[in-house]
């Protein structure tokens, strides 16, 4: 067994021991480990991944959202990219939520750097991060209706003003041949 496989197996075993039920499933693709965590266990799993001496994933450099409208049970996926500076390892933690209840616990209390990333994910996909200290729009205007990162969000059709000129929606522009 390679060293990479050893730390993958050790990480899965350690996290399962620290937070029972924290791993629904896992994948290893291209040498990268992804653990799928139920949203109810996300906050506990994040604290264990950061604080445990054997794990030490101290840094959360990125949070991203994904919309799968064909997946009725888990329409929204939130992916946390974690890094261990101590052990020089990377890990993805993925959780899901249905469109009928788009709530995921915030990890800002554990990883303060996730603040703006969670805000961006909420702004683009509409996933509400429960316990977030200031969940407000970050990319779209405050009065914007909808979440443009969703795959069911209409493409074009929104008039755009630029220095007094109005750019027509995509479907109303002339055709070039």
Give pLDDT, residue 5.
Answer: 66
Rounded distance, CA 15 to CA 11, Å? Answer: 6
Q: Is the dihedral of CA 124, 37, 9, 109 positive or negative?
A: positive
10-34 burial, b at 16+ Cβ within 10 Å, e below that, comes to ebbebbbebbeebbeebeeeeeebe
pTM: 0.83
Give pLDDT, residue 157.
Answer: 61
Give pLDDT, residue 31.
Answer: 82
Assess contact for 25 and 67: CB atoms under 8 A.
Answer: no
Residues near 112 by Cβ (< 8 Å), separated by ≥ 6?
Answer: none
pLDDT along the chain (177 residues), means of 10: 75 93 90 93 96 96 92 86 95 94 96 96 95 92 86 69 66 64
Assess contact for 137 and 123: CB atoms under 8 A.
Answer: yes
* CATH architecture for residues 3-172: 2-Layer Sandwich (3.30)
Q: Domain coordinates of the chain in residue numbers?
A: 3-172
Q: Provide the 10 A C-beta neighbour count for residue 98.
A: 13
Give pLDDT, residue 65.
Answer: 95
Give pLDDT, residue 121.
Answer: 96
Whose CA is closest to 116, among 131, 135, 102, 103?
A: 135
């Amino acid at each position: 067994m390679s060293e990479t496989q050893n730390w993958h197996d050790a990480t899965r075993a350690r996290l399962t021991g620290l937070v029972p039920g924290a791993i629904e499933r896992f994948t290893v693709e291209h040498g990268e480990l992804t653990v799928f965590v139920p949203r109810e266990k996300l906050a506990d799993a994040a604290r264990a991944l950061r604080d445990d001496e054997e794990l030490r994933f101290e840094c959360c450099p990125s949070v991203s959202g994904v919309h799968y409208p064909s997946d009725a049970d888990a329409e929204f996926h939130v992916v946390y990219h974690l890094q261990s500076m101590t052990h020089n390892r990377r890990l993805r933690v993925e959780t899901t939520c249905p469109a009928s209840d788009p709530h995921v616990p915030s990890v800002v209390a554990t990883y303060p750097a996730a603040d703006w990333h969670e805000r961006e994910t909420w702004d683009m996909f509409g996933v509400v991060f429960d316990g977030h200290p200031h969940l407000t729009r970050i990319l779209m205007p405050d009065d914007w209706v909808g979440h443009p990162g969703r795959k069911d969000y209409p493409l074009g059709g929104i008039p755009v003003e630029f220095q007094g000129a109005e750019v027509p929606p995509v479907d109303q522009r002339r055709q070039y041949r």
